[in-house]
Amino acid sequence: MKLLQLLLLVLLYFLLIKCSAQPPLGYRVEGHIRGLSDETRMYLIDGGQRKIIDSAVVRQGRFVLAGTLTEAAHTYLYAGKGRSSTKLADILLDNRTLTIEGREPVYDSIVVTGSDIDRLWKEWSREDLRIGYQRFRIKQVYESLVSKEDTANANVLRKLINELTTARIELLKTYVRRHRTSAVGAVLPTLCTLGDYLTQADYLEMYQSLSPTWQNSRFGREILLEARRKGVQP
């Protein structure tokens, strides 16, 4: 019995060593975009820090980017560098495997799959864009009425414009609350185009709704910084 216990302990010891020796899991981006020329170099860029974090060379329209991130990042995928570069995708990336496919090397052709955080971010973005476009069209009519001094009708549209702005803000807050333990909840307040309409209270509400882990992330710190900026009096 003692010999069996000793053997089990030895086996457990070697298993622990093996597990600890495993490299950390990282991201892997597997791309297949038709129309990309061989030898084209693809660049993965951290959008927040504006720096290249990875690159790969295209072979028969395919490429692989692989590495490790300390935390999720909003990234851009570019084909080429400098003035001849082409932006192909925005990706909310963390340490997982995802695929990128496209019929041609054009932004609207690219489809990213395999990442729930990227999918949810783009789901929010589409809904926000839909409301924002409605607001834009109504604002055009509003400005036309103002130029014609049609105050009564202009005031009606101004109310609608404000309601649509409020709807966009509430949509943002809803996604942050719903995904408070995910990169999605933390990144949206830093990527949205609502900065001019968000108050210090709005930023603080979203920050406080995040889990402690995401409050302490780079995105969480950016939200808190925006809240502090809103509190600075001119």
DSSP states of 52-115? EEEEEE-BTTEEEEEE--SS-EEEEEEESSGGG-EEEEEEEE-SSEEEEEESSSSGGGEEEES-
How many residues appear in the chain?
234
User: What was the pLDDT predicted at 23?
Assistant: 43
CB atoms within 10 A of CB 140: 11
Is the pLDDT at 5 greater than 70, yes or no?
no
136 Cα distance to chain centroid: 24
Is the pLDDT at 70 greater than 60, yes or no?
yes
Q: Does domain 25-114 have CATH number 3.40.50.970?
A: no
Average pLDDT over residues 24-48: 92
Question: Closest Cα partner for 33 from 135, 101, 117, 124?
Answer: 101
Q: Which helix (H) or strand (E) holds 148?
A: none
Output the average pLDDT for the chain.
88
What is the number of helices (H) and of strands (E) in the chain? Answer: 7, 8
Average pLDDT over residues 41-46: 95
User: What was the pLDDT predicted at 35?
Assistant: 93
Q: b/e for 5-32, b at 16 or more Cβ within 10 A?
A: eeeeeeeeeeeeeeeeeeeeeebebebe
For residues 207 and 201, give the distance between their C-alpha atoms in angstroms, rounded to a whole number.
10
Q: Which tens digit of pLDDT belongs to each residue from 96-106?
A: 999 999 999 99
Domain ranges of the chain: 25-114, 118-230
DSSP 8-state symbol, 217:
S
Is the pLDDT at 184 greater than 90, yes or no?
yes
Is the pLDDT at 165 greater than 60, yes or no?
yes
User: What was the pLDDT predicted at 49?
Assistant: 84
Distances in Å between the alpha carbon of 95 and those of 90, 113, 135, 213? 16, 14, 37, 16
Among 7-11, 87-91, 216-220, 229-233, the minimum mean pLDDT is found in: 7-11
Across the beta sheet with 41-46, the strand order is 51-57, 41-46, 73-79, 86-93
Is the pLDDT at 8 greater than 80, yes or no?
no
Between 58 and 84, the more confident residue is 58
Among 10-19, 74-83, 143-152, 221-230, the minimum mean pLDDT is found in: 10-19
User: What was the pLDDT predicted at 232?
Assistant: 67
Rounded to whole angstroms, the maximal C-alpha distance in the chain is 97
